[in-house]
Structure 1
Amino acid sequence: MNTRTSSLPRLVWPGQEFLPGYLAALERGWSPNNLRAEAGREEIERIRQDADAFLAGLVDREGAGPPVPMPDGSTVPKLPGYRRWIWDGEFCGSIGFRWQRGSNTLPHYCLGHIGYAVVPWKSGRGYATAALRLLLHDAPAEGLRYVEITTAPDNLASQRVIVRNGGVLVEEFMTVPALGGHRELRYRIELDAPLA
C-alpha cells in the first residue's frame, strides 16, 4: 500500500486495503459522526467483531441496514446511502451521502444529504472542499436536483467548504429534540451550480 501523501485527495470506496488507516484514525479519537462522538468507539468494536460486515454496511443504497442511533438514544430508519473515504495516500476523513428515494426532501431527523469529517491532522488543506466537489458528481445519479447540507452557525470552516461548492444559505433553524434542539444553518447546492 502506498502511504506517501499527494497534494490532492481522492475518494475511495471503503475496503480492506484502506481499513488500517481508518481504524488508526478511530483509535486516535477521531469520529466520522460529529453528532455522536461515541460513534467512533462503536465502529472500532464493529470492525473488531467483523471487518467485512462493517465495510459492507458503509454502502447501503437500499437503506436496508439496522436503525441509526440518534444523540438522544432513540433510533430512526436507515436511509439509502453510502460513505466514501478521503485518501491522499493516507486516510484523511470520511464523507457520507444519503437520500430518500423519489424525493429531494429528507425526513425531519436527517439534517442533510451530505456530511463530512476530516481528521484534525489533515485539516486546513482544502480536503473537505475537494471531497465535497468530488461527491457532488455522484448525486444526480440518485435522481436529486439539489442537495442540502447543514452546519453550525459558528462553524465558519464548514460554511466556506459549502459555499466554495456552490452552496447558498437557505435558512437558520432549530434541530428536532432528538438531535439536541440547537441552531443550524441549512445550505442548498443546486447540482448544476457553478463552483466558486
Structure 2
Amino acid sequence: MDLVVPALAHLDAYADALRRGWSADNIRLEAAAREELERIAADPQAFVASLDDREAKGGPITLPDGSKVARLPGFRRWMWDGAFCGSIGLRWQPGTGALPSYVLGHIGYAVVPWKRRRGYATRALALMLEEARREGLPYVELTTDPDNQPSQKVILSNGGILVERFRSPTCGKEELRFRISLV
C-alpha cells in the first residue's frame, strides 16, 4: 500500500467507496459523503484539486455552531494498493506546531471497511509523518475516541504518546489526544 496524490484517474474508485457508505470524515460521515459526491458530480477536476490546498485558498470553514473560521493549509492522500483503500489528510498552522482550538488534530485518516486489519492505516500514518516533517512540524497531534482501540494501536505503533483525555469542543464527546514527536 502506498499513498497517492488524488487524481482523476482514481476518482471513480473514491466515489464508489463514498457510495458504499464510507466517508473520509469520521464525524459527519454520511452527510460528508453525500456532499463530496455532489461536488464530484458538479466538477470532478475542481474536487480533486481541492484536496491539495497547501496555501489554504479554499475559503473559510463553517463550524458546527455556524461560525466561520480561516481554513488551514493542508492536503489529502489516498491509500492505494491497486484499488482505493482509504484517505489520510494533514493540516497545519504555518509557523507553529500548535493548532487553533477548533482543530482537534493535524492528521486524520479513514480506511474503507473492506480493507481494514491489513496494516494500511499504520503504514499510511508512517508515510504522512514524513510529509509532516517536510512541512517543518515539530510534532503532530491526533485524536480518537476512547473506545477506538484500532486507531489507538495505529497511533501508538507510530510513536504516539497519550497527552490528554478531553471533551471535544465541537461535539462534546470524550476524546483522547496523542502526540507524535517529529524531531
TM-score category (smaller protein)? over 0.9
What is the distance in 1 between the residues matched to 2:35 and 2:62? 11
Give the 5 Å matches for 1:47-58.
47-58=40-51
Q: Report how far residue 181 of structure 1 moved.
A: 1.0
| Native 8 Å contact 1:72 1:180 kept in 2 | no
Q: Report how far residue 11 of structure 1 moved.
A: 0.1
Structure 1 runs not aligned, ≥5 long: 1-8
Partner AA of 1:68 in structure 2: I
Give the 5 Å matches for 1:62-141.
62-141=55-134
Which residue matches 2:147? 154
Q: Report how far residue 140 of structure 1 moved.
A: 1.5
Which of the two has greater helix per residue? Answer: 2
Q: What SS does the corresponding residue of 1:18 show, helix, strand or coil?
A: helix
- CA deviations 1:150-190 (Å, max 9, x no partner) are 101000000000000000001111111xx111111110001
Which residue matches 2:5? 13
Q: Report how far residue 78 of structure 1 moved.
A: 1.2
Partner AA of 2:11 in structure 1: L
Q: What SS does the corresponding residue of 1:86 show, helix, strand or coil?
A: strand
What is the distance in 1 between the residues matched to 2:62 and 2:114? 27
What is the distance in 2 between the residues matched to 1:103 and 1:52? 32
Structure 2 runs not aligned, ≥5 long: none
What is the distance in 1 between the residues matched to 2:66 and 2:114? 30
Which residue matches 2:178? 187
Q: What SS does the corresponding residue of 2:9 show, helix, strand or coil?
A: coil
Aligned residues: CA RMSD: 1.1
Q: What SS does the corresponding residue of 1:137 show, helix, strand or coil?
A: helix
Partner AA of 1:138 in structure 2: E
TM score, norm. by length of structure 1: 0.90
What is the distance in 1 between the residues matched to 2:33 and 2:63? 14
- CA deviations 1:116-146 (Å, max 9, x no partner) are 0000011111110010011111111212111
- CA deviations 1:81-105 (Å, max 9, x no partner) are 0000000000000000000000110
TM score, norm. by length of structure 2: 0.96
Q: What SS does the corresponding residue of 2:103 show, helix, strand or coil?
A: coil
What is the distance in 2 between the residues matched to 1:118 and 1:72? 28
**What number of residue pairs does the alignment pair up?**
182
Structure 1 residue runs of 4 or more that deviate by more than 6 Å after TM superposition: none
Q: What SS does the corresponding residue of 2:76 show, helix, strand or coil?
A: strand
Which residue matches 1:4? none
- CA deviations 1:55-106 (Å, max 9, x no partner) are 1100000111122343455443211000000000000000000000001100
Q: Percent identity?
A: 59
Which residue matches 1:32? 24
